[in-house]
A and B are shown apart, each in its own frame.
Chain A
Amino acid sequence: MAGAAETRLVNRDSSEANAAAAGAVGLAALLFALSLAALFEVVTISDPIAGIPVVALLGGVLVLLGGAVVSFGVGSYLGVVETRPSASAGLVAAAAFAAVWLAIGGGVAAEVLNVGGVGSAAAAVAVGGVAFVTAAVLREDVGSTLPAGGVSILTGVAYLTGALGPAWVWELNFEQQASLTAEFVIPVSTLACALLTGWAAAKAYGGFGARGRRMGAYLLIYLNAGSIVGVLFLLLAFTAFKGLPGLFTGAALGPGVGPAVFGISLPVSLPFVTNGVALLNEFQGVLPAIAGTIWLVVGAVLFAVPLGVGAAIFLTEYAERGRFTQIVEVATNGLWSTPSIVFGLFGFAFLVPRFGGNKSLISGMLTLGFMLLPLVLITSREAMLAVPDEYRDASAALGVSKWQTIRSVVVPAALPGVVTGVILGVGRIAGETAPILLTMTGGTFVPGGQTADVIGGFQFTSTPPFVANPELLQATTALPFQLYALITAGVGLGDTVSSPEQFQWATAFVLLLIVLSFYAIGIGARYYFRRKLQYE
């Protein structure tokens, strides 16, 4: 209960007013979610809900909210509701209100009243100025509720009267002939109103003053965090929704329907995952791309992690801090921000000719390995710098050599950080298209027979080089490239795959699943190493 204006130890809230304010906050949050959903076209604004058009519904709620907020402010000002407001709503709030009202004033003057250029500008400045003065000069309770509630009421009235309806279009008259449609404007303005009124209602709930400001800030932060999680969830749900039908095309469940693994037929058949693309296939699938993606990531990690961790050990433990380490640091940071197509071109010009002149799995692995290297190096270095010097001192004081100390104290303590770096890096490289486009991939559709079988591909000979693996030297495909190829394939796609759109979405969904499962493996590994270091 930290509050500058609070003097009493226990404050007796008038519970009805409090409940009403809490209700207004909840309603605003609901409206926020609804307008976000409308913005992402989860709900369409032209459809009616229970016979009432969505726009009219939104308008009614906005007027209600605005009225509630304004009456809170006025009630507090008149002393009906017990609050502890500050002298003013503050400069930031005033500036924000001024900006909103400036836009409203200008828009209404120009579009509705058809006032000319200078006139509408003057109207905008006048309206914005009034809002600014209201917020900045009047006491906090009215200063923060009147402008917020006003915006909400005005918008609500516009919706209700049909001035802003589903058919509304604002021609911007720019050279590009751009226009803003109601599909975009209505959700966005509803969103803004929900934020403003929600903030004001949260302040009213906290009784204004320091506590009210804190409540307002909480609301904004929670809505922000919530919408980030919401967008992530939406993305996943959307991809799953679109991708699942394609993924389960031809799926069957029952004894013996699936492919044989070690001589035993699996009871599940999922042709999209277990098939390649072939003319005679009943159902087409992306098995070669899945195998390619997994081998790519495994190869890149196997290449980059030992090199990156080794370099980090050298830089933190052996090299003198100075010009040289600075240059290396700048170079690694620069390498990490290098566009991936540059890596791809490097692989194409440098690696491909050295591995038989054809695009090959190993060229792709190494190219992605080069991309991964700087991040592994940076994060490993950070993790090793964070290992306390006390450990090194303690080890040295026992007469243990530097290398032994690094091996048995520094690296184990840094492992969680290293793993974090690898997770981040894998997330990036698993989805890369440009580098593998130039170094690894063959055609748009890859037959199941071309699935990279790296383990089975090893061949041992009695003459040098003793071991060879033609699978590594073959062009194959990976999910991001497959997706890219499918989207750009255009004509002819329908001849090969029965429903191209389902196929594309299913590919995207499988890619997402694979990247997420790499994440899960990484997070599990990090958790394991952390636990080992902590007392649990």
Chain B
Amino acid sequence: MSETTHTTTDGTDSTVGTTTGETDERVREEWRDYSFDAPTKLGVDDLDVYYGDDRALDGVSMEIPEKSVTALIGPSGCGKSTFLRCLNRMNDRVSSARIDGSVTLDGQEIYQDGVNLVELRKRVGMVFQSPNPFPKSIRENVAYGPEKHGDLDTGVLARLLGRSDEERRDELVERCLRDAALWDEVHDRLDDNALGLSGGQQQRLCIARCLSVDPEVILMDEPASALDPIATAKIEDLIAELSEEYTVVIVTHNMQQAARISDQTAVFLTGGELVEYGDTDHVFESPQSERVEDYITGKFG
């Protein structure tokens, strides 16, 4: 991992920060030089997002290395969730959103004509803030994605023709639930409605559902904010395990959580700018920007 930490503000507008324009320039230069050891999975360059006339993200650029945990922290309304939703184009579903800039996945631009959204979202999965399992059985929840993509067919016709994929489906359900550390708790009641699970179990089920389509990147939008400490600890352990195979990007309000689980941390501050990004240890121990230091030490935000 790089030892470099870097700060960025919009070069033309430094009215908010405590740093002078000169320092901004210096930090920006440093940032250009940084590199993480691992290859870049997601590259973001000069990303602007507007909701109607409101600017939600302001020239964000960052590179997210693969098979690691990247935490996005910042005060409410700073655009970190917006940023996250840009990474699998979920913001396309908000009709008032306008997006400028570039996001690449394995070097391929995802904001261009001809991008297959189905394929993109299969490769970049997402877990939401509040657990949102479908009102279906646990088994149906996990198998939902592959079944709708046509990878599994357990329909009536397939069963009649004797080519039902029920066995493959059950293997998949078991693998995903094991990966999401939920199998032991639910293996004997897979046909029960998922809404009968506790909040923490529901969230792990959502993670299992997300794993079912074999993603490369998992985006998590404050996945533990609605959960109690024990359920949160389980989710955090799970994230650490997942990062061995998947690239995890997680938005969190909880700075201790970010410090515990992430390899890189990006700090967004009000106005939708990415102020500091680098190794978690560096960002928390010796932040370059005074504003970030103020935020981390709790003086504001």
> Which residues from chain A sit less than 8 Å from chain B, CB to CB?
320, 388, 390-391, 393-401, 404, 408-409, 412-413, 532-536
Known: A534-B195, A535-B195, A535-B196. A398 touches B90 (CB 8 A): no
| Secondary structure of the A contact surface, majority rule | helix
CB contacts (< 8 Å) of A400 on chain B: these are 118, 144-145, 148-149
B93 close to chain A: CB less than 8 A: yes
Chain A residues with Cβ under 8 A from B192's Cβ? 535
Closest to A321 in B: B95
- With A and B bound together, what is the CA distance between A408 and B90 in angstroms? 20
B209 at interface by CB-CB < 8 Å:
yes
Complex Cα spacing A532 to B122, Å: 28
Min C-beta distance of A136 to chain B, whole Å = 53
Given A388-B132, A391-B132, A404-B148, check contact A398 B193 (CB 8 Å).
no
Cα–Cα, bound, A420→B272 (Å): 46
Report the Cα distance A400→B122, complex, angstroms.
9
- Interface flags for B112-126 (1: CB within 8 Å of A; 0: not) read 000001111110011
Flag if B130 contacts A399 (CB, 8 Å): no
Separation of A387 and B194 alpha carbons in the complex (Å): 16
Say if the beta carbon of B128 comes within 8 Å of chain A.
Answer: yes
A390, B132: Cβ atoms closer than 8 Å:
yes
Contact B132 A399 (CB under 8 A): no
Contacts of A398 on B, CB cut-off 8 Å?
121-122, 125, 144-145, 148, 209-210, 212-213
How many pairs of A and B residues are in contact by the CB < 8 Å rule? 77
Q: Is the CB of B195 within 8 A of A394?
A: no
B125: chain A residues at CB < 8 Å are 397-398
In the complex, chain B residues 185-200 whose Cβ is within 8 Å of any chain A Cβ? 192-196
- A394, A399, A409: the one contacting B122 at CB < 8 Å is A399
**Residue contact B118 to A401, C-beta cutoff 8 Å:** yes
Q: Does B134 interact with chain A (Cβ within 8 Å)?
A: yes
Total interface residues on B, CB under 8 Å, equals 33
Residue of A391, A397, A404, A408 touching B121 (CB-CB under 8 A): A397
CB neighbours of A404 from chain B (8 A): 148
Sampled A-B contacts (27; CB under 8 Å): A388-B132, A390-B130, A390-B132, A391-B132, A391-B135, A393-B128, A393-B132, A394-B209, A395-B148, A396-B93, A397-B88, A397-B125, A397-B210, A398-B122, A398-B144, A398-B210, A399-B118, A399-B145, A399-B149, A400-B148, A401-B118, A409-B134, A412-B135, A534-B195, A535-B192, A535-B194, A535-B195
Contacts of A320 in B (CB 8 A): 95
* Contact of A536 with B193 at beta-carbon distance under 8 Å, contacts A388-B132, A397-B121 already known: yes
B206 on interface, CB distance cutoff 8 Å: yes
Collect the chain B residues with CB atoms within 8 Å of residue A388's CB: 132
Instruction: Give bound CA distance, A409 to B121, whole Å.
Output: 18
Residues in A whose Cβ lies below 8 Å from that of B117:
399
Name the residue of chain A whose CB is nearest to the CB of B135: A533
In Å, the complex CA distance between A408 and B128 comes to: 20
User: Cβ of B195: which chain A residues have Cβ within 8 Å of it?
Assistant: 533-535
Chain A residue at smallest Cβ distance from B92: A396
CB neighbours of A399 from chain B (8 A): 117-122, 145, 149, 213
Docked complex Cα distance between A165 and B121 (Å): 83
Nearest Cβ in chain A — how far from B108, in angstroms? 16
Instruction: Please name all residues of chain B whose beta carbon is closer than 8 Å to the beta carbon of A534 when the two chains form the complex.
Output: 135, 193, 195
Cα distance A413–B192 when bound, in Å?
16
Q: Which of B119, B126, B133, B135 makes the CB contact (< 8 A) with A397?
A: B126
A408 adjacent to B120 (CB under 8 Å): no
